[in-house]
Structures are given as structure tokens and as C-alpha cells.
Amino acid sequence: MTAAPVLLAVLAAFFWLFRTKFKDRFLRAFGLFFLILLVYSSNKEYYGISTSLSESTFSPMSLLRWSLMFFLIWQATRLDKPKGFRNDILLSTSAILLMGLMLVSCLYAEDPFYSLMRSVSFSLFVMALMMGLVYYLYSSVNCLQFFKFHYYTAWIVLAPFIVLLFSGIGYGVTILMGQYAGFFGNQNMIGAFSAMITPYVLFHWRVVAETKRDKWLDAALLFIIFLGLWLSRSRNGALCFLIVIVTYFFIVSMQSRLAIMTVGVLVITGFLIFPPLKTDLMSFIRKGTDKSASVTDLSSQFAEERRYEMWSGVWPKFWKQKMTGYGFAQSHLLVYEFTEDKEVGRSLHNSYLEMFGDLGLPGFLLLALLLFRVGFKSLSILTLPVEPLERHITAVFISGFVAGSVNAFFESWMFSAGNLLTLMYWGSFTGIVARMAWQPGQAPSTARTPAMQAEMQYPAIRAQN
């Protein structure tokens, strides 16, 4: 039995949002591309989408995905470069060189056509972000609309499935090997998605919500996210969820930093005083191996992980081709001989190691330059005197970027233009670049008009959201 009506209800909710809440053409184009990637990340066969409709390069859903990407690029080209926007030459040059290296690597890839298609799709994806989204997010008012879209997404995609699960209905809810996946096709996906969507919920809770009712609703949504993570037993997702919360509140105020330190001390004290808490945590971390005689501590747990088995197996092969790699989107083909789990072996489960295997040291160093450049610029942004709203906007992007960077160490989605997490992560990256392009202490006074400043007042923000 399929649960197609559930998918139709989710789609209807999004189309209602596009019709009533979001009038901006670029945001609608972004939302449509986001939606097709969301459908791809769902449990497609359970919702009535057969593999023949979605899996091949020229399947109907693949063609629709390509069409929506080109539509997003078209809308991006219609955006004018904002007055006062300053390009980061080093960042732009690094990105162009990395895209060029991806395309050149197709010449020596084992499967040149697949490598070329992946390279072209990711290059087009980057074009849409750096020619469109970065200009769109330059405006704080646009950031509010962007955040609102993600906030509504959290309600649509996460809350109903928890309700269906605990109501006993269970229709449309995915459970895999006793682990909750909700709308998604696997528990790792719901874990990462939940973590990456959390900054937008935190923003709404701390900035937009005005009444006690609204604040309690947002607190309930945060609890739903946490509950879904716990039921999914997604260790990576739970870790990134914690990273998002700590990073967000560490950025927004000094009082929050003190609170974080206090909570950290209390949590550590709780584990020391109450051994059952430590036992439950270790059981969560060691899922699947908590009864193994060879696992006695976290170091032996790491060695028992299937990811480590694959990483240690492919490393000598990757190092042998360290100057060129095996071609973009090709290194995962070497994984199969090092794991008995062919489902796990479909990817390397480490975006950074995958980049090294694909493009060698040149590709890895260019990626590192991109990430470190944005990381250091993020620190410089935090030192600038800005109004509280700007601080919260920055916190959303930076917390998403930090959590995604950690998640990518355990999953291989960073360079897949057809993956929802890729869009969410590089969206946060692009948001930081937009914040870099306008810095209050250095930008021209014409960067924000008086009318825009008026729109940024808190009552207006709440009205928009």
C-alpha cells in the first residue's frame, strides 16, 4: 500500500504557501527547486513514486529537477547587483578554480559521462547561488522571507509525522529497522535535515514570536525536532542539532554564552552524579554495537564503525592518486570492496575525503580555502557593532554553516546538486557571503535606505512572519 495522499498533502501545503505567503519571483523559484529536492529525499516508493520515474538521468523527475534548476538560474540572472555589494575576489577565484577542476577531471574519470553530468549540475547550482541567492540575501528584509519559508517547511515536514506516529495511525510515516524517518527515505536524512532547519526555528522563537502562545508553539516545534532525532537514533543529526543551538546562542549575546557554559557544567555534573544518564548516552552513541564484546570505550567504538572501515580501506588508494584524484564523483566506486554492506557502500560517507579522492590535493585545498575563508570572515563579522536583528540573522547562517560542515564529515552530500542538504548547507554559506558583502562598519551609507531600516523594526518583522 502506498501513502500517496500524504505526499499530495505536503505538496498542497507548499503550493498554498507559494500562492499566499511568498510573492517574490526569485524566492518562489528557490522554493520550487527546494521542493523537488525535498520530494527526492522522501521515501519515494512508499509515496507512490517508482524508481522508473525518478532514478535514471532522463527520468521524468530528473528532467523536472533540471528544469527547476534552470528556472532558478533564470530568475537569478534577473536580479540586479545591489548597490554597495562588494565581491570577495579570493572567494570567487577559488570557487571558479574548483568548478574548472571538476570539469577537467571528467577527462580521466572512469565514467566520463556521469562525472561530466555531476560537474555541470553542481556548477550550475553554484551559479544560481552566487548570481542570485547571494544578491537576494544581501537585504535583511529578504532574509526574513527566506527564514520564514524554512520555518514553515519545518512545520509541514516534521510536525505532522510525529503526530501521525503518536496518534497510532502511522499512515505515511517511515520506520526503517526500528528507527523513525518520518517523511524521509532514511534516518540519517531526517537527522541532518532536522539539524539544518533548526536555526530558522530558533530565529522565529527568539525574534519573531511575540505572544506567549507563539513562543510556546515554537518551543513545541523545537521539542518535536528533538523527539524526531531521538526516535531516529541519528547520532550525527543529534550532534549537529546540539551544535546549532550552542553556536546560535553563543553568537547572539554575552548572556547566552554564560548560560551555555552554565548548562554545560550542569550537564557534565549530571553525568558524573547520575550514572544511568551516562549509560543511556553511551547506548545511543553505540547503537548496533552496544552488546559487542570488542567495544569497551569510544575509541574501540570508532574502530568498529562501518564508516571507519571504508575510510581506512580507500585511503591508500586515494593517496596513490593524490595529485589528480580519480575524477569528480568517481571515488565512491572504490568503496565497495571494503564493506559488506552494499547499501552503505553506495557513498563514502565523508564529503572531505570524497573530494580528496575525486580531485586530489588541488581540489581538497581549494575546498579548504573556501571554507576557511568564510569561517574567518564569519569571526570578523561577529566583532562588528550591529543591531540585535542583524546579529540574529548572522547567527542563523553561521550556525547552519558550522553544523553542516560537521555533518559533511560523516556524509557525502556536499557536492551533489540533487541533494536537499546540499542546498541547505550552501544556502547558509551564501548567506554568510552576503553578510560579508555588507558590513555595517565599512559599507557605504547608501547600502540600506531609510525605508528598509523602517521595515527592519521588530513589529514589522512580526507582521511579515
Q: What is the mean pLDDT of residues 196-203?
A: 97
Q: Which residues are bridge partners to 165 per DSSP? A: none
Q: Of 96, 81, 22, 150, which is closest to residue 428 (Cα–Cα)?
A: 150
Query: What mean pLDDT is reported for the chain?
Result: 85
Residue 417 has pLDDT above 80, yes or no: yes
Any idea which residue has 562588494 for its cell? 86
Classify the C-alpha dihedral 390-395-396-402 as positive or negative. Answer: positive
pLDDT score, position 442: 43
- Given a cut of 80, is residue 287 above it in pLDDT? no
Can you give the pLDDT at residue 83? 86
Q: Is the pLDDT of residue 227 over 50?
A: yes
Most confident of 285-294, 320-329, 340-349: 320-329
- Give the rounded percent of residues in the chain with a pLDDT score beyond 70: 82
Residue 43 has pLDDT above 80, yes or no: yes
* pLDDT confidence tier of residue 284, bands split at 50, 70 and 90: low
Q: What is the mean pLDDT of residues 96-115?
A: 94
C-alpha–C-alpha distance, residues 462 and 43, integer Å = 35
- pLDDT, tens digit (0-9, with 9 covering 90-100), for 371-387: 999 999 898 888 887 88
The per-residue pLDDT for range 156-176, each reduced to its tens digit, is: 999 999 999 999 888 999 998
Q: What is the pLDDT of residue 462?
A: 43
Stretch among 56-60, 94-98, 111-115, 256-260 having the lowest mean pLDDT:
256-260
Rg (CA), the chain: 22
Q: Is the pLDDT of residue 421 over 60?
A: yes
Q: What pLDDT was estimated at residue 464? A: 44
Q: What's the rounded mean pLDDT across residues 46-74?
A: 91
* Over residues 253-264, mean pLDDT: 70
pLDDT at 264: 64
* pLDDT-wise least confident of 112-116, 141-145, 262-266, 362-366: 262-266
pLDDT of residue 62 exceeding 70: yes
Residue written as grid cell 534577473: 78
Q: What percent of the chain shows pLDDT beyond 90? A: 61
Q: What is the pLDDT of residue 331?
A: 86
CB 325 within 8 A of CB 357: yes
Higher pLDDT among residues 353 and 261, named by residue: 353
pLDDT band at 340 (very low <50, low <70, confident <90, very high): low
Q: In one letter, which amino acid is 107? A: L
CA distance 247 to 260: 10
User: Read out DSSP for 5-49?
Assistant: HHHHHHHHHHHHHHHHT---HHHHHHHHHHHHHHHHHB-TTTTT-
> What is the structure's pLDDT at 258?
73
Residue 238's nearest CA partner among 178, 272, 287, 271 is 287
Give 3-state DSSP helix, strand, coil % of the chain, rounded to 5: 70, 0, 25
The span from the CA of 349 to the CA of 329, in Å, is 13
* pLDDT given at position 312: 85
Q: What is the pLDDT of residues 291-319, one digit of tens each?
A: 454 544 445 444 445 777 788 889 999 99
Q: Who wins on pLDDT, 264 or 417? A: 417
- Give the pTM: 0.88
End-to-end Cα spacing for the chain: 38
Check whether 352 has a pLDDT greater than 70.
Answer: yes
How many CA atoms lie within 13 Å of 464's alpha carbon, on the beta-carbon side? 24
